[in-house]
Amino acid sequence: MVNESGPMKQQAMKLWRLGGAAAGALVLVAVAEPAAAHHSFSAEFDPDAPVTLQGTIVRMEWINPHAWLHVDVQNEDGTTTAWMIESATPNTLFRRGFTRDSVRAGMQITVHGYQARNGANRANARDLILPDGSRLFMGSSGTGAPGDESTEEAQ
């Protein structure tokens, strides 16, 4: 019969504790990374810097946690500026009536939103106006952006 209180059992218990601690640390790192990657509206975008962009869709990235619309905007001097426009999650956009055909490359659109705090050619979208005049809400809810109904209800 094996002695269950001997050095082998103590060593096995130490390994179990060490393994449990390592697994717990791994879970904390896995949870913390996505949380750190996500941001609030006010951390990156300026509510006092509204922008209206009229341009041509280059492409739409249907990725999480935010879909990105890439638009070429022609400046008054004839040059073109590339803008990246952040919106809600793809799933949220689909529930609001977007389809992959709603935003096709080459389409002329207007976007109302808010410019990045650092002055980069990036904006957080509020509304997308399509060539037929229809308007689609692109913003994320609960971000604190101006006009965010879920934030206004909470105040």
Q: Tell me how many domains the chain contains.
A: 2
Provide the residue range defining the domain that includes 58: 43-154
For residue 134, the domain's CATH number is 2.40.50.140
pLDDT, one tens digit per residue, over 50-99 is 999 999 999 999 999 899 999 999 999 999 999 999 999 999 999 998 88
pLDDT of res. 27: 47
89 and 31 belong to one structural domain = no
82 and 127 belong to one structural domain = yes
86 and 133 belong to one structural domain = yes
120 and 139 belong to one structural domain = yes
12-21, 106-115, 146-155, range with the lowest pLDDT: 146-155
β-pairing, 108-116 vs 45-61, is antiparallel
pTM (2 d.p.) = 0.68
33 and 73 belong to one structural domain = no
pLDDT, one tens digit per residue, over 94-144 is 999 888 888 999 999 999 999 999 999 999 999 999 999 999 999 866 555
Higher pLDDT, 36 or 147: 147
6 and 69 belong to one structural domain = no
15 and 51 belong to one structural domain = no
Alpha carbon of 118 to those of 43, 64, 88, 108, 139: distances in Å?
10, 23, 21, 27, 20
Whether 132 contacts 107, CB under 8 Å = no
pLDDT of 150 > 60? The answer is no
